[in-house]
Amino acid sequence: MKIGFIFGTRPEIIKLFPVMREFRRRGHKVCLISTGQHGELIDIFFKVFNIEPDFDFDLDVENRTLARLSADMLENLDRLFEKIRFDLVFVQGDTTSAFIGALCAFYHRIPVAHVEAGLRTDDMNEPFPEEMNRRLIGRMAVFHFAPTKRAVENLRMEGVKDENIFLVGNTVVDSLNWIVENKKDEMERSFRKLVEDTQSDRLILLTMHRRENWGRRMKEALSGIKMYLLENPDFLLIFPVHPNPVVKDVAYDVLGNLKNARLIDPVDYVSLLALIEHSRIVLTDSGGIQEEAPSFGKYVLVMRNKTERYELLEGGFGELVGTDGKRIYEALKSNMNKNMKLKEMKNPFGDGKASIRIADIVESTVM
């Protein structure tokens, strides 16, 4: 089979990598298509996984509206699909790249396989535009690879036929396991370089970048974290800051002068996993980190009003704290020592064999 994999952001590369690798291992012709949605930020991930895109649109994403970005992606994919006829196209998650990739494949009558299908918050504004993106992908996909039972039920409730829904687990666990198996020494070197002489058992990891948290929400959340850090100078916050000025300016304005807050440039995936592994607690508005932290037995404070990953909450691996500063401050105080209980608990997002299941299903259905 000739299979196209469309991606444009870091989470997509992370979660599609084990699927690409499995199909390539089985002898299929795999074509990697980068939309360039995250620009140069994703280049370091190509190096981590030792992959190179076969097609890279290298779009000018700076200050582009979602509509213009979508139009450029659609035009580039349309040209590509006119030249190359794929038997199947994979998209992952809920990004603009995934939505436009699925749409263009649908226009060209190419079957779409959706990895991480069925996640829902039931609120079109949280996250925006991701909730709408994944719902629309769900109307176009032929293969719906759901990571959890809840995701399966969401798809059924929307009328997707059972024969098109497959419970496989989340491929992020496959990817994480590959990193730990193949890059463990690099993880440790990266961690030591980042923390230097800091006590490794008193780290707090923070990531924050979501569009719906820009502005007042972000400032409020960071103010709550600042309050905790001022009262606990023996703890060090590490914050890989997104380069977008909307995020960066607020981050440095609120936390830039704190001695125990280290604001750093974005890190590669190996370094990020090392930071998660060694952190006492994780604060994030990221979807992927909600899935990665449980693999290391880490408790997550989710700085969003809603999450599509309820398994994190139900499994006792985290809680929703929103962006209210006082709530975040109290959550940090009360949850700092929960990790010891979590390390022996089952990961709610899978066993690391999702990519094998996906390849088995496609081969048994298409070939």
Q: 79 catalytic, yes or no? A: no
Q: Which of 242, 262, 319, 360 is catalytic?
A: 242
- The answer to whether 250 touches 218, Cβ cutoff 8 Å, is yes
Q: 52 catalytic, yes or no? A: no
Length in residues, the chain: 367
- The answer to whether 254 touches 274, Cβ cutoff 8 Å, is no
- The answer to whether 118 touches 55, Cβ cutoff 8 Å, is no
- Which helix (H) or strand (E) segment holds residue 271: the answer is helix 269-278
Distance in angstroms (rounded) separating the CA atoms of residues 120 and 286: 15
Q: Which of 12, 22, 72, 130 is catalytic?
A: 130
Beta-strand ranges (E) seen in the chain are: 2-7, 29-34, 55-56, 88-92, 112-115, 143-146, 165-167, 203-207, 236-240, 261-264, 281-284, 300-302, 318-320
Strand partners, 207: 284
Q: 360 catalytic, yes or no? A: no
Q: 344 catalytic, yes or no? A: no
Q: 94 catalytic, yes or no? A: yes
Distance in angstroms (rounded) separating the CA atoms of residues 138 and 99: 10
Q: Which of 72, 116, 277, 291 is catalytic?
A: 116
- The answer to whether 299 touches 339, Cβ cutoff 8 Å, is yes
- The answer to whether 278 touches 256, Cβ cutoff 8 Å, is no
Q: Which of 10, 21, 38, 209 is catalytic?
A: 209
Q: 308 catalytic, yes or no? A: no
Beta strands 29-34; 318-320: pairing state: unpaired
Q: Which of 64, 211, 319, 360 is catalytic?
A: 211
Q: Which of 94, 131, 268, 311 is catalytic?
A: 94
**Which amino acids are annotated catalytic?**
94, 116, 130, 209, 211, 242
